[in-house]
Structure 1
């Protein structure tokens, strides 16, 4: 206990002495290996908690031939989404004794495979969690795996792609259908749709859900109500101003994420429209934008942190070759859930000028 009394950080040796076990046993508990007896594991974990001991992944990497750090690779303009991903992966790393390195990149780079391979080698990483749109580029996925780099992907897909590459898939299509259906059931027939980035499959999946809902309810798709853009507040504002300037503007607008929807809300306010009485607005993801707006935004709750945590656990389980662990053996799907808030309401029929006269 000298380290604690002297103010120095406790070491793995301190943990072993307090738990009255070998250094090897402490290492096995930290690495979550299944060979440790439950009573022994509990004693080691209690010692770790009492000492507030935190393993040093970088030092462990230098001492071992095995790597205990993984990387998170992203290219996304949505800061809240990125924070959610980071927190989810970091949670899995803390649970399993792994470290984390974060790597922002340009998903369109033709040399991305070489860049990521160099990142893995330089940082001595055990594997990568790939987020969209990199995770949806099969040429990149295959190039990384050909280099022996272990990966887990987070992708947008209505079902398990069963393409032989491990992934966590998110059913954005069905959630977008549910949002559009909600607006239709409120009486809206002219529903605008603002795209996110076309490089992200989530944009096309959400559009397909919107399109299918209109079709199922017998509403003709008006191409003038669909505007391309990116996953940003500014594109939401610009897209909404364009839609609201139409001779027959929409009575509702579905933004491909909450930042876009918040931009729509700002655009509506800029022309003096009352939300939701003159315009209903819906977003996607349930980010802080949706809860902090006024009125709060109807959206689809996407558990970004849980999704990222599962992907990281899948990668780490595969690295340990844990054949008994179901996480390592199969892909897993998540389904965002509709959250109805104050930004959507029944359609308000505009008065007929002939009737007024």
Structure 2
């Protein structure tokens, strides 16, 4: 079986090998009509560049790295799939690097990762992306990077990022519960090392304040972004003398754990207890009843980060850097929430 080469593409498109190379490298100097002819030839021949050879010839890298430490497998898979799609679009490879975010040598590990594997740059997922000292160290080592972070607005701190407004989405979820008549609303935190956890808590807190609902500290439980933590925290909340009529878990895994805890003690969802999560992961759709949540397109968020990073490493020094981009998750109301039963509002 003949594997198509760059010479085959050049011959079919009627151009030089150098022109094909320019198209593959997304150089702006190629005329639109020529670019279209070359791209058509690439598609017909199903040509795929040899990324390692291309990197060696050009003395630069055509591979990105993604660094994560997250207990939520659905989040990690969505990030990977989003980055893979944009890497394939632009002819880049992707190296996936799970790590220990608490390692005291993490900065050195990541610098070595980039240099040994000749990576063009890194996409940092939370919580590493939200650690200023780590970001400063990588920047000082001239490692191009784009961060995925939780923020209610563009931080404008000089470092590229895709930011997600978790706070507003959490406020919207809590408002949804309050408008259904719920006054005792439990809140279960995610991992404290993730900035999304305090941001989602602030949204919950702001909604209570906006509607004049008193804050009861015993309804707030520290946790982590996992099913087990949701189960544990919910059992604690439901054992209170005056338990909540609704529980807001900081992600869908937590909310699924809450649902399991309610069933384990015979609490009917949603008639005795409304439950909401966050992120619109498969947990939210596969649960019964399906979970009210905030839809967060993690795959598109990752795609945006990948495009930003490629744009940054490909741009001329005279060109302005890419602009930070923000996403706002939106409320998805499903069967796990319903108006509070009469007599249980307070």
TM bin (shorter chain): over 0.9
Name the CA distance, whole Å, in 1 between partners of 2:176 and 2:50: 49
Name the CA distance, whole Å, in 1 between partners of 2:233 and 2:187: 9
Q: What is the Cα deviation at residue 14 of structure 1?
A: 1.3
Q: What is the Cα deviation at residue 56 of structure 1?
A: 2.3
Asked if residue 347 in structure 1 is aligned to residue 336 in structure 2, the reply is no
Q: What is the Cα deviation at residue 37 of structure 1?
A: 1.0
RMSD, aligned CA:
1.5
Name the CA distance, whole Å, in 1 between partners of 2:319 and 2:220: 44
Asked if residue 63 in structure 1 is aligned to residue 74 in structure 2, the reply is no
Q: What is the Cα deviation at residue 110 of structure 1?
A: 1.2
Name the CA distance, whole Å, in 2 between partners of 1:293 and 1:331: 35
Distance 1:323 1:334, change over 3 A: farther
The counterpart of 1:303, out of the listed 289, 297, 302, is 297
Asked if residue 336 in structure 1 is aligned to residue 314 in structure 2, the reply is no
SS of residue matched to 2:336:
coil
Name the CA distance, whole Å, in 1 between partners of 2:173 and 2:183: 13
Name the CA distance, whole Å, in 1 between partners of 2:259 and 2:267: 9
Deviates more, 1:73-82 or 1:12-21: 12-21
Is the contact made by 2:245 and 2:344 (CA closer than 8 Å) also made in structure 1? no
Name the CA distance, whole Å, in 1 between partners of 2:77 and 2:44: 30
Aligned to 1:4: none
Name the CA distance, whole Å, in 1 between partners of 2:319 and 2:86: 15
Name the TM-score, length of structure 2 as normaliser: 0.97
Q: What is the Cα deviation at residue 62 of structure 1?
A: 2.3
Aligned to 1:262: 256
Q: What is the Cα deviation at residue 63 of structure 1?
A: 2.3
- Return structure 1 stretches of 4+ with deviation > 4 angstroms: 322-326
Distance 1:163 1:193, change over 3 A: same
Q: What is the Cα deviation at residue 284 of structure 1?
A: 0.3
Name the CA distance, whole Å, in 2 between partners of 1:31 and 1:178: 43
Is the contact made by 2:221 and 2:233 (CA closer than 8 Å) also made in structure 1? yes
Asked if residue 246 in structure 1 is aligned to residue 240 in structure 2, the reply is yes
SS of residue matched to 1:312:
helix
Name the CA distance, whole Å, in 2 between partners of 1:286 and 1:57: 35
Asked if residue 12 in structure 1 is aligned to residue 17 in structure 2, the reply is no
Aligned to 1:355: none
Q: What is the Cα deviation at residue 17 of structure 1?
A: 1.2
**Per-residue displacement from partner, 1:224-274 (whole Å, max 9, x unpaired)?**
111111100000111111100000000000000000001111111111111
Asked if residue 94 in structure 1 is aligned to residue 51 in structure 2, the reply is no
* Alignment length (residue pairs): 345
Name the TM-score, length of structure 1 as normaliser: 0.94
